[in-house]
Amino acid sequence: MSIVPASTSTALDRPIADVVVVRRNDNQIRAGQGMVKGMLRVVGHFGASLAKVQSSKRDTMGMFTVQYPEERLLLPEASRQMPILLYEDKSGQELCTSCFQCERVCPPQVIHITQAKDPTTGKPVPAAEEFVIEYDTCMSCGYCAEVCPFDAIKMDHVYELATPNHLSMDVHKRGLNRPVSYYETIAPTMWGEVRDQALKKLQNNVKRRSGNIGVAPQMQGKVVKAATGAAPRAVAAGAFAAPAAAKAPVAAAGKSMSADKLARLQAIRAAKAGGAATPVAEDEPAVMQTEAVAPEAAGVGPAGPAAAIGKNMSPEKVARLEAIRAGNQARHGG
C-alpha cells in the first residue's frame, strides 16, 4: 500500500481526501520470475513453429515459410517484377506500336524505343525497331503497363535476376519478347479482360506493316515456313494477312497467279526490254520479279500507277491497272 499526499485544491476546487490508497497486485511475480515467464512464452512459440505448418495467415501460431528454392509460393496475378513485351503466337506480330507512352511515363527513364520505318518510303510504321529496358535501374512501378494503350507491355513474375554481368541487365527486344500464351498462364484473368480489344488493335496495326517489320526477332521465318512449307521468307502480316492474300493472288507466289495474268506480265516485261518475254519462275514471288513498267507499255499516262508496279502497289491498284490495260487494248483493237 502506498500513501500519496493529498493536495489542498484541484482545478475544479473540489475537496479530496487527505490520503489516496493505491492497491497493487498482491500476486505479482518478483525476483526475475517475470523474465522466466516471458522466455517460456518464446519457447512455446518456437516449438509450435516446428510442429505445425500453417496454410493461412489468419493463424497466429506455426511456421509460415517454405523450403525455397525447392518450394515456391504462387505469386498473385498483379505481382510486379520486370516489364516484358508481348507478341501474337501464330503470326509473331508484336503488339507494341512504338507510341512512346511508356517511355514518357517511366519515372527513372529506363525505357528506350526506336520506331520502325518503311524501307521504301521512309515513313514511320506502327512498330518498334528496337526496344531496350535497363533492368538494373527499373523500379518495377508498373506505370508502363498501366499507360500502354495497346496492352503490349506487361509485368513479368520472374524475380531471380541476379547476375555478375552488369551489361546484361540492359535487355533488348529479343530478350523482352514473350508470346501472349506465356502471359496468359501467369495472369489469365487480367489478360482475359483485355484480350479481345488488344488483338483487334493489333489487327489494325498489322495492315500498315510490311515485310518483317513488327515481327518478333525469334519468330521471323518460322511463320511462313509453317504456313507454306517453303523456305523462310519475309512475313508480311502473319495470320492476319490471310484475307488480304486471298484477294490478291498477284502479290503471292507465281503458283497462285492465273495463266492470263502471268502472260500479261511477261508481255509487259518484253515490251519494256524490246525482246522476248522472260519466263517467270513458278516458285519465285511475282512481286519480286516485276519491275517498273513504262507508261507507254502500260497504256496509261505518265502519272499512272504503272511505274510503281511490283514495289508498293496494293492489290486494288494492281486490279485497276489491269482493267485500264484491258480497256486500252479493246479500244485499239488488241
pLDDT above 90: percentage of residues in the chain: 41
Does 22 have pLDDT greater than 60?
Answer: yes
- Could you give the CA distance from residue 239 to residue 229 in angstroms, rounded to a whole number? 15
Residues 275 and 321 in one domain: yes
Final residue of a structural domain among 175, 206, 237: 206
Class of residue 195 by CB neighbours under 10 A (exposed 0-12, middle 13-18, buried 19+): middle
Residues 304 and 201 in one domain: no
- Could you give the CA distance from residue 101 to residue 146 in angstroms, rounded to a whole number? 10
pLDDT at 46: 82
pLDDT above 70: percentage of residues in the chain: 63
- Could you give the CA distance from residue 242 to residue 125 in angstroms, rounded to a whole number? 20
CA distances from 294 to 221, 251, 303, 316 (A): 34, 20, 11, 20
How confident is the model over 124-143, as a mean pLDDT? Answer: 95
Residues 287 and 323 in one domain: yes
Q: What is the mean pLDDT of the chain?
A: 75
Give the number of other CB atoms < 10 A from CB of residue 129: 14
- Which pairing describes strands 124-134 and 83-87: parallel, antiparallel, or unpaired? unpaired
pLDDT by residue (tens digit) across 146-171? Answer: 999 999 999 999 999 999 998 999 99
Final residue of a structural domain among 171, 206, 241: 206
pLDDT at 227: 42
Among residues 259, 232, 227, 225, the alpha carbon closest in space to that of 245 is found at 227
Question: Which residue's entry shows cell 493463424?
Answer: 59
Residues 119 and 8 in one domain: no
Assigned domain for 2 exists = yes
Does 31 have pLDDT greater than 90?
Answer: no
Kind and range of the H or E run holding 278: none
Q: Report the domain count for the chain.
A: 3
Residues 66 and 143 in one domain: no
Full domain range(s) for residue 112? 83-206
Does 325 have pLDDT greater than 70?
Answer: yes
Does 280 have pLDDT greater than 60?
Answer: no
Assigned domain for 238 exists = no
Residues 146 and 181 in one domain: yes
Assigned domain for 264 exists = yes
98, three cell numbers: 512504338
How confident is the model over 45-72, as a mean pLDDT? Answer: 73
Final residue of a structural domain among 39, 73, 107: 73
Assigned domain for 227 exists = no
pLDDT by residue (tens digit) across 185-229? Answer: 999 999 999 999 999 999 999 999 988 999 999 998 876 544 444
